[in-house]
Chains A and B, each alone.
Chain A
Amino acid sequence: MPALTELERAYAQARLDPNFRKEFQHSLHQYAGRATPLYFAERLTQKLGGAKIYLKREDLCHTGAHKINNTLGQILLARKMGKERIIAETGAGQHGVATATVAARFGLECEIFMGKEDVARQSLNVFRMKLLGAKMRVVEAGSQTLKDAMNEALRDWVTHVRNTYYLIGSVAGPHPYPMMVRDFQSVIGKEARRQFLKAEGRLPDYLVACVGGGSNSMGLFYPFVRDPKVRMLGVEAAGRGLRTGKHAASILGGEVGVLHGSKSYVLQDERGQIRETHSIAAGLDYPGVGPELSYLRDRGRVQFVSATDSEAIEAIKFLAEVEGIIPALESAHAVAAVMRLAPRLAKHRTVIINLSGRGDKDMTTVGDYLGVRL
C-alpha cells in the first residue's frame, strides 16, 4: 500500500506537470512514431459490403503494438521517482518488449516476468527482450500464463519496493494503475477522434477493440465516452467457445470478484478460486479485466461480444488477403467481430477498429493452428 500511495502521489503531480507532458508527447512523436494513421480500409469495406471501416494503425507503432504508449509514460514517471529498476509482467510479450525497449532507451535495469507457457508460444518476443538487455524471469507457478507472471511481479515488487518500479501493462491491477494506463493509452482515442473528424466531418458510429485486460480498448474508447452516439464494442476471447469453459472472456463469462487489487469481473469457480483461461492470443489470456471497463459495461456504455480462436485465425487470413495487413492475434478478435457486424450495417455507417498490434510475433502460433510447419 505505501508503494501505491507513493505512486499515486507521483502520478498526480506528473499529470499536471507541463514538462512531464511535453516530454511524454515528444517521446510519443519522436520515439514511438506517433501519430499512427487512421486508415480507411477500402477493400475490407467493399468485401464486407456494409459499414465503412477504418483501422487505427497501432500496429505501426515502434515495437509493433500500442503497448509502447503506456511504457513511455510510465518509464518517464519511474525516472522522475528516482527508481533504478523496472519490472513488468507480460503475456504475448508485447508489453515485455515495450518495457524492455524503454528501459534500454532510458538506461534502466529491467526484468520481465513471463509465464512458462507464454515463453514457449512467444519465443520470438522472448528473444527480442533478451536482445534489448532485459533479464527474463520464467514463471512456473499456476497456469504459467499472464496472471501468474503478474503474481510473481507483485511478489518481486513488494520485496524490492524501495528501488523498483512495477510497470503494469494493462488497465488492471491496483489503483492508480488502471487510471494511469488508461490516461497514457488515451492518445489512441484522441488521435482517432481528430483524424476521423477530419476525414468524415463527424464522429464514428462504432468503435471496436479487443479486450484482455483492456488497455487498447480503454485507450480508444475513453476520449469518446461522453459522445453518447458513438457505440463501443469490446471483443473478448472466446477461445474454444464460451460454453467449453476454455476461454478468457471475463465480462461475458465471469462474476464480480477481486483480483490483483481491483474489483471487476473475474473468471472464477464456485469457490472463488481464479480459473485458468484459454485463448490462442496470449495477450488476451487473463482471467480479469480492467475495473473501468466493467463499470462501463454495467452502465451500458460499452457492449461486449466475443470471438473464438478459429474466428481470430480467419480474421488474420482475411485482413492479410484483402488489405495486406497482418494483425496480431489479439487485434484479429476485433477484426472478427467487425466481419460479423459490418455486413449488417448500412453503407453510411462507420466503424473504427483498433488494430492494436501487428502479427509477426504470432506466425508460429498461426502456422501451428493451420498445420503448417515453419
Chain B
Amino acid sequence: MSCIARKLAELQKRGEAALIPFVTAGDPNLATTLKILRALEKGGADCIELGIPFSDPTADGPTIQRSSERALKNGLSLPRIFQLVRQFRRTSEVPIVLFGYFNPIFHYGLENFCRAAARAGADGILCVDLPPEESAELKRWTDTEGLDLIFLLSPTSGPDRVQLVAGKGRGFIYYVSVTGVTGARQALDDQLRSQVARVRRATSLPVGVGFGISTPKQAAWIAGFADAAVVGSALVERIEKAKGGAEKARCAGAFVSELKRAMKQVAKKS
C-alpha cells in the first residue's frame, strides 16, 4: 500500500476524512513554499498537493493562474521543485502529490520525471490534462517508481469512465465537485453527496473531493461523506494576500488548522 493510501486508510479507521491542501510550488519563491509546507503540516494537513506551475493552466481559475504566473516569473523549473520536495522530506513524512499539466512533464521526459519525483520523496502524480485513456505511458513509469497516479472524475463522468478510473487509479480518486475550473465557490452542489456515493460503490479506493471548497463549513460537510477534502484556491488566495514569507506561512498554517478542526468535529459527531 502506498503512503497516500495508508494515510487515508488510517484516518478512515478513526472515522476521519483527510485534509489535502494545495499550494503552487515557488509562489512567490521556493524558500517561502518550504516554510508554507512546514506550516501546513503543523496545521494538520494529512497529505499535500504541490502544484507544478504551467503557463497555460486550462483547468484552473484566476487565483491559481496568478500564482503559477508568479512562480514562473521567478524562473521555477522541475529540478528546483524536486529539490524542494527533498528538503521538505528531511523533516516530514506527510505524503506529497505533484499536481501539474502534461507538457512540462512530457518535456522533461516521463521516465526521468517519475524517477526524479520518486527519489525526491514524492508519493503521487496528478496530471490534470492527461485523460486515463492516454495515460498508459506515464502509468508505466509511475508504477515502476512506486508512485500513485491519481485520476479525476467529475459530475459529467458516466459509468464507463468511473469504471475506467476505478481500475487505473492509485492512491485515491479525485472527484471534481463542480463542472468547471478550480476556484473558491460560495455554494457547492447539493447532489455532491449522492455523486460521491456513486463513485464509492464502484471502487475500493478512497475518494477525495476538490474544486471549489473554500470554507471550514464546506470542508466539514465534505468530510461527512468523502475520504478527503482538497482545498486549493482559497488557501492560495490567503497566501497571495499575506505579506512576506513568514506571514504567508503563518496564514496558510492557521487556515489549514481551522479547516482541520471543523472536519474533525464532524468525525466526532458521526
Binding site for B on A (CB under 8 A): 1-3, 141-142, 147-148, 151, 154-155, 158-162, 255, 257-261, 266, 268, 271-274
B78 interface hit (Cβ, 8 Å): yes
State how many angstroms separate the Cβ of B202 from the closest Cβ of chain A.
16
B270 interface hit (Cβ, 8 Å): no
What mask results when residues 176 to 193 of chain B are scored 1 for a CB within 8 Å of chain A, else 0? 001111000000000000
Chain A at the B interface: mostly helix, strand, loop or mixed? mixed
B87 interface hit (Cβ, 8 Å): no
Minimum CB distance partner of B66 in chain A: A141
Chain B: how many interface residues by the 8 Å CB criterion? 31
B195 interface hit (Cβ, 8 Å): no
Chain B at the A interface: mostly helix, strand, loop or mixed? loop
State how many angstroms separate the Cβ of A170 from the closest Cβ of chain B.
16
**In the bound complex, how far is the Cα of B129 from the Cα of A261, in angstroms?**
8
Top 3 A-B residue pairs of the complex, sorted by shortest distance between their CB atoms: A272-B107, A159-B180, A272-B104
Q: Are B103 and A141 in contact (CB under 8 A)?
A: no
Q: Are A273 and B156 in contact (CB under 8 A)?
A: no
Q: Are A154 and B58 in contact (CB under 8 A)?
A: yes
Q: Are B179 and A161 in contact (CB under 8 A)?
A: yes
With A2-B161, A141-B62, A142-B55 known as contacts, the answer to whether A162 contacts B106 (CB < 8 A) is: no
Q: Are A271 and B56 in contact (CB under 8 A)?
A: no
Q: Are B55 and A258 in contact (CB under 8 A)?
A: no
Interface residues of B in 107-144 (CB under 8 A from A): 107-108, 129, 131, 133
State how many angstroms separate the Cβ of B38 from the closest Cβ of chain A.
26
Q: Which residues of B contact A148 (CB under 8 A)?
A: 56
Q: Are A272 and B103 in contact (CB under 8 A)?
A: yes
State how many angstroms separate the Cβ of B135 from the closest Cβ of chain A.
12
Q: Are A1 and B55 in contact (CB under 8 A)?
A: no
With A2-B156, A258-B106 known as contacts, the answer to whether A271 contacts B77 (CB < 8 A) is: yes
Q: Are B55 and A274 in contact (CB under 8 A)?
A: yes
Q: Are B56 and A274 in contact (CB under 8 A)?
A: yes
Q: Are A259 and B108 in contact (CB under 8 A)?
A: no
Q: Are B103 and A268 in contact (CB under 8 A)?
A: yes
B146 interface hit (Cβ, 8 Å): no
Q: Are A1 and B103 in contact (CB under 8 A)?
A: no
Q: Which residues of A contact B107 (CB under 8 A)?
A: 255, 257, 268, 271-272
**In the bound complex, how far is the Cα of B161 from the Cα of A141, in angstroms?**
32
Q: Which residues of B contact A274 (CB under 8 A)?
A: 55-56, 103
Interface residues of B in 84-120 (CB under 8 A from A): 102-108
Q: Which residues of A contact B67 (CB under 8 A)?
A: none
**In the bound complex, how far is the Cα of B13 from the Cα of A189, in angstroms?**
65
Q: Are A3 and B156 in contact (CB under 8 A)?
A: yes
Minimum CB distance partner of B57 in chain A: A151
**In the bound complex, how far is the Cα of B62 from the Cα of A154, in angstroms?**
14
Additional A-B contact list (13), CB under 8 Å, known A2-B156, A151-B57, A272-B106: A1-B161, A2-B161, A141-B65, A147-B56, A155-B61, A158-B59, A257-B103, A260-B56, A272-B107, A272-B108, A273-B54, A273-B55, A273-B104
Minimum CB distance partner of A143 in chain B: B55
**In the bound complex, how far is the Cα of B161 from the Cα of A115, in angstroms?**
34
Q: Which residues of A contact B252 (CB under 8 A)?
A: none
**In the bound complex, how far is the Cα of B104 from the Cα of A223, in angstroms?**
36
Minimum CB distance partner of A4 in chain B: B131
**In the bound complex, how far is the Cα of B62 from the Cα of A185, in angstroms?**
35
With A151-B58, A273-B55 known as contacts, the answer to whether A257 contacts B158 (CB < 8 A) is: no
Q: Which residues of A contact B156 (CB under 8 A)?
A: 2-3, 161-162
Q: Are B102 and A258 in contact (CB under 8 A)?
A: yes
Q: Are A159 and B131 in contact (CB under 8 A)?
A: no
Q: Which residues of A contact B77 (CB under 8 A)?
A: 271
**In the bound complex, how far is the Cα of B46 from the Cα of A280, in angstroms?**
51
**In the bound complex, how far is the Cα of B161 from the Cα of A3, in angstroms?**
12
Minimum CB distance partner of B181 in chain A: A155
**In the bound complex, how far is the Cα of B209 from the Cα of A164, in angstroms?**
25
B2 interface hit (Cβ, 8 Å): no
26 A-B pairs (CB sep. < 8 Å): A2-B156, A2-B157, A2-B161, A142-B69, A154-B58, A155-B181, A158-B59, A158-B181, A159-B180, A160-B179, A161-B156, A161-B179, A258-B102, A258-B129, A259-B56, A260-B56, A260-B58, A261-B129, A268-B103, A271-B78, A271-B104, A271-B107, A273-B72, A273-B104, A274-B55, A274-B103
With A155-B61, A161-B179 known as contacts, the answer to whether A1 contacts B56 (CB < 8 A) is: no
State how many angstroms separate the Cβ of B237 from the closest Cβ of chain A.
16
**In the bound complex, how far is the Cα of B158 from the Cα of A30, in angstroms?**
40
Q: Are A1 and B131 in contact (CB under 8 A)?
A: yes
State how many angstroms separate the Cβ of A181 from the closest Cβ of chain B.
19
State how many angstroms separate the Cβ of B94 from the closest Cβ of chain A.
26
